Structure formats: C-alpha cells, structure tokens
Structure 1
C-alpha cells in the first residue's frame, strides 16, 4: 500500500514536498467546489468546468516543465521526486477535460467523433491528449526498464511538441482577450529557451548573468509576439501596439509579466549562489 501513498517518498517516509505537490494538484478541485454556486449559476456551467480543466492541464504541464530549471536554480535536487507525480496529474486533468466534453455532447460518441474530425482546434487538442496519455502510460519504473533509458527519454521529449499543441489549442479557444494565453506562451518560451541555452553552452546550470539575458530576451519576444499577433488580427501597425507597453492604466502587458517571472528566477539564483558560497567557506580554527 505504501506505493499508493502519494505523500511518501521511495523510502516510505512522509515527504513534505510530496504533500505540497498533492495539495497543488488538488487546489483546482477545491477551488471549483468553493465556487460551485457561481459555476452553477452561470449560463453554461458544464462548459465552464470544461475550460477550467483545460486551463489547469496547461498550468500543470508548465509546472512539470519548470521542475528541471527550478531544481537547478534553487539548488534543490529533491524536486525531481515530484515531477512524475505532477506529470501524471497533468494527464488526469486532460482526461477530465475530454470526459467533460463528451458529457457536454450528451455522451453521443458519434457526434463527438464528428466534431473532433471537423474542427481543427479539437484535432490539435486530441493529438496533445494522445501524447499526454502515451507519456502517462510509460511513466512507471517498469515501463522505463522495458523501453530502456534512451528510448524512454526520446519518447518523453515529445513533451515539448505536446506543450506547443496545447498552447495552440488554448489560443484557439480564446475568443477575445489573449493576455493570459500570451503570458502562458511567454513562460513556456522561457522554459524552452532555458533548455536550448543550457544545451548550447553545454552546461547543466546557467549563470546568473545568462538567466538575466534569457529573461530580457524572452520578455522582449513576448512583447513582439503579442504586437504581431494583434496587428495581424486587427489590421493595425505592430509599432502602435508596442506603443501601449508603458500604458499601465490599460493593464500590465504579458511581456512585463514574463520579464518579472524571469527576474524572480534571477534573484533566486543569485541568492542561492551566495548562500552556497558562504556555506562552502571553511571555518577558521581558533
């Protein structure tokens, strides 16, 4: 039974980190229960829950991808212990997303099939879900042994393509304000750029200066991407869109939010590096 107790580590000991991870995965459920009255009073309550599960699937997909850079920046290798748990939790929310969609179609599987094959955004979402399912099924220790470490890693590198498809699906579902999707895309861009930069420099950890440069570049690209997207959609000049970046009365643009998130990582890296250097200093013998 110990293997089913998610709050225990591989040694069977109660893990605070795992308890926090379980609480994080259950947070959307608790939030939905607290807001049940508001949801039920809406025009389409089931549709509301469908969108919620889809959003949290994307959030936890991002958290899964953030484990590797965060454990390196924070110098906290134990974070790797909850990556698989959060990854499987991501699939569970994706499965709930699909199941609720089927319920919204009155469990008419023929209609569901027709809808999925007719709409591009549903095809993209289904491909992403299929990929998540494959990763979840092969996430056990037994499957890693059967496939071999190299083949298993190659398969699970598909997470980047799955994340891209999930982002596209999310953008296509957003009818008006794209602020949140652009912010999420910027964060995913930072996580991918971190891996590319580390691979290019052939280093497991990036320096504080590299993290600062990475955050500034990705923040700038987020501004540019949003401006180009709005310009194409509404037929205006991208420079006109960029001119509103400092108009904080109209709201904080996603580029600033991505930059702020990146700078938070830079500060964490700087503090942890100084802390480790102090801890490594030899104590003078009196």
Structure 2
C-alpha cells in the first residue's frame, strides 16, 4: 500500500524554491510596499495636498507603470547581467504593478466622491481613461494566472500565449501615462523610451537570439540608439504639440543650462546597465568556478519556475 504523498511545502515570497531565505526576493518583496507605505505616511502627516485622492491616484499610477517596466526588464537584465536568479522576482513585480493599478482606479473614484455612475461615464468619455481601463482589464487574467497552480492547469504553451498580453499592456500603459500628463512630459517620454527599448530588445532577441543581443556591444549599441531616438522624439513632440521648431529643441540636449533632458536620463540608465554588467563579469572571473552540475541546477531552477512568465507571474 502506497503511503500518502507529503503535502507541498508552503513557500513565502522571501524564500526560494527550496524554502531557503532569499535576500534578493526579500528586498524586492519589501520594496514593492514602500511607495504605498509612504503614501499612508504622507496621509497621516497631512502632506498629500488639498486633493488627497488625486495625489494618491497620480503616485499609484506612476509606480504601477514603473513596476510594469521593471517586470518586463527582468528577462533582458538576467541575460545582460548574467544573473538568472532575477527571474524569481518577476512575479512579485508583476503583482505589485496590478495592485497599484487597482489603487490608481480606486483613488480616482474617491476623488469623484465615490459617484460610481460618474466614474463609469468619465472612464468612457475620456480617451486616456479608457486606455487606462483597458490596461487594468488586460492585467486581470495575468494576475489571476500568476500562480504555479494556474500555470500547470493552463499548460505551458497556453500560459505563455496568455502572458504575451504584457506587450500590448506596456504599450497602452505608456500611452495612457503620456496622454494624461498635463504639465511636464519628461517622465512620460522616458517611460515611452524605456518601453520601446525593452520591446525592441525582445524583438531582436527573437530574431538574433538572446545570447547575441545580450552581449555588451549589442547592449551598448541598442542603448545608444534608444538614447538618440529619445532626443529626436522629444523634439518631434514639442514641434507637433506646440509648434516649437525642431532645431530649437534638439540642441538643448547639448546645453546643460537647459535642464535635464529625457535623453540624458535614458543615457544614464544605459550607462548603469552596462556598468553593472561589466562589474558582474569582473566579479564572476574572480569567483570560484561553478561546476557544470551547479550551473545546470541554477539554470533549471530559474527556467523551471518562471521561464514562460512575462508579467505578474
């Protein structure tokens, strides 16, 4: 007579698959709560301003798109940085993005005095709000299927197909963020540039292979191309929006007195990504070499848990 199977060990968000404490997972898990906790602290101190709900709405939306970008960045970074364990934090980042999108919507309803008919009317009357609602709707099935159990029920192929929704989601989220920005457009342009960068990396990886596109020259080349495109994109925006001559905006990228330009921020991100990649390669050369068996175990652990996952998984 066969003995009953032992129940599966319950794992917490700060543990790896073996139930061992993971500093990386713990830091990311704690980190996704910090923006929300800071909003709560500001509310307690009365520093959210006269329209508290709209400030919560703006901050939650800002962090939602940041976490979406970080979620999509996991795969490129794990290859460029040669850090396969990064895949274990993708689920936390994706679920955080979904949670902050929900807070974003709830706070908007609160700013309208919880007048649900008016909220619904506004959501469909304004294009940028409709786009934001589409982002939330598309995120729901990804969040609902983010568990290992749902992955098994759907099967790997169907699960991967469903989670490819992350690509239109990030595009719609960047468009929503851009359209709703009424004052400065620096951050919306940066968000759009990062989204284009990450989606371009995925397209090139599918065409050339992840190993070839994750090399330092390829990473630097793509980053420089996106930085230049960002400068031209900013100039094109001001020309089309308020008629500022293209030739007046573009040179500001070479004038420190004009302030920090979006292209500078993208360039800084490129430098940071390449610097971390170089540092990790140098440290790897000095570290004791792993045996082939250890390398296979790490790769199998990362790919076996979340290789198909692209968003909330």
Which TM-score applies when normalising by structure 2?
Answer: 0.84
Alignment correspondent of 1:5: 12
Aligned residues: 281
Q: Does 1:270 align with 2:281?
A: no
Asked if structure 2 preserves the Cα contact closer than 8 Å seen for 1:190 and 1:218, the reply is yes
- Deviation sequence 1:6-29 (CA, Å, 0-9, x none): 222232222211210112101102
Deviation of 1:267 (Å): 2.2
Q: Does 1:189 align with 2:188?
A: no
Correspondent of 2:178 among 168, 171, 177? 171
Following superposition of structure 1 onto structure 2, how do residues 142-153 of structure 1 map, counting pairs within 5 Å?
Answer: 142-153=149-160
Task: Name the stretch that deviates more: 195-204 or 228-237.
Answer: 195-204
Asked if structure 1 preserves the Cα contact closer than 8 Å seen for 2:138 and 2:165, the reply is yes
Correspondent of 2:234 among 226, 233, 236? 226
Structure 1 unaligned regions, length at least 5: none
- Paired with 1:12 and 1:275, the residues of 2 have a C-alpha distance of 27
Following superposition of structure 1 onto structure 2, how do residues 33-72 of structure 1 map, counting pairs within 5 Å?
Answer: 33-36=40-43, 37-40=45-48, 42-72=49-79
- Paired with 1:89 and 1:4, the residues of 2 have a C-alpha distance of 18
Asked if structure 1 preserves the Cα contact closer than 8 Å seen for 2:80 and 2:219, the reply is no
Task: Name the stretch that deviates more: 180-189 or 197-206.
Answer: 197-206
Deviation of 1:280 (Å): 7.5
Deviation of 1:279 (Å): 4.7
Which TM-score applies when normalising by structure 1?
Answer: 0.91
Task: Name the stretch that deviates more: 17-26 or 211-220.
Answer: 17-26
Could you say if the C-alpha distance between residues 98 and 281 of structure 1 is closer, same or farther in structure 2, counting changes exceeding 3 Å?
closer
Q: Does 1:202 align with 2:202?
A: no
Asked if structure 1 preserves the Cα contact closer than 8 Å seen for 2:91 and 2:146, the reply is yes
- Paired with 1:95 and 1:236, the residues of 2 have a C-alpha distance of 37
Deviation of 1:133 (Å): 1.2
Deviation of 1:171 (Å): 0.9
- Paired with 1:145 and 1:99, the residues of 2 have a C-alpha distance of 32
- Runs of 4+ more than 6 Å apart: none
Task: Name the stretch that deviates more: 120-129 or 102-111.
Answer: 102-111
Asked if structure 2 preserves the Cα contact closer than 8 Å seen for 1:73 and 1:268, the reply is no
Tell me, what secondary structure is at the counterpart of 1:217? Answer: helix
- Paired with 1:137 and 1:118, the residues of 2 have a C-alpha distance of 28
Could you say if the C-alpha distance between residues 4 and 50 of structure 1 is closer, same or farther in structure 2, counting changes exceeding 3 Å?
farther
Correspondent of 1:245 among 237, 246, 253? 253
Asked if structure 2 preserves the Cα contact closer than 8 Å seen for 1:2 and 1:8, the reply is no
The structure whose RCO (Cα within 8 Å, separation 6+) is larger is 2
- Paired with 1:32 and 1:105, the residues of 2 have a C-alpha distance of 19
